[in-house]
Amino acid sequence: MSRVYVIGDKDTGVLFVLLNPLRAAIVPLAEVEKYASQHGKSTDAAFGDVAAAIQGLILKTDGVDVPAADPLVHETFRSLVAGGTTVTDAAFCFVSEVDSSDWQSFRHGFPPIEPAIAAVLASPGGDVPEVPLKGPGD
């Protein structure tokens, strides 16, 4: 099994990240808008289509038969996203633009994620290291 993360960002597009091994792809906002235009839909409705497709794919491949596989639930999910509602199964999701050039100097002010920031800054790409969290006294 692989863990999948799909982040739909209405300012950027849709990011797909699959772990074990790491694989990623992005559908840029321009492609979402192109799809919407080609199908006579709003951009929100196109995001709804993407969200419904992802939800359907996950239901078919997660190995768990749950009530959410009901077609009515599937259409409700599509409608929620198409209507602009944010829907997520993640504990949290941050989407932001940052200037990571300052991360080296700021990372010591954020103890739990200091090792993760150090690993991100040192990573040349490719492998994704596993790092611990740092406690206040560590």
Cα–Cα distance for residue pair 106/126, rounded to 1 Å: 25
**Residues 6+ away with beta carbon under 8 Å from 93:** 7
Residues 121-128 have a mean pLDDT of 69
Mean pLDDT of all residues belonging to the chain: 79
Which of 3, 52, 43, 47 minimizes the C-alpha distance to 23?
3
| Separation CA 138–CA 122 (nearest Å) | 21
Contact 29, 13 (CB under 8 A): yes
pLDDT over 70 for what percent of the chain?
A: 82
- What's the pTM value of the predicted model, to 2 decimals? 0.72
For residue 67, what pLDDT band results from cuts at 50, 70 and 90? low
34 or 114: which carries more pLDDT confidence?
34
pLDDT tens sequence across 15-52: 888 877 777 889 999 999 999 999 999 999 999 888 88
Q: Could you give the CA distance from residue 36 to residue 114 in angstroms, rounded to a whole number?
A: 41
Higher pLDDT, 17 or 99: 17
Ranges of each domain in the chain: 4-82, 98-138
Q: Is the pLDDT of residue 79 over 80?
A: yes
- Asked if pLDDT for residue 82 goes beyond 70, the answer is yes
Residue 94 has pLDDT above 70, yes or no: yes
Q: How many CA atoms lie within 13 A of 121 on its CB side?
A: 15
pLDDT at 32: 92
For residue 134, pLDDT over 60 is answered with yes
| Mean pLDDT of the region 97-105 | 72
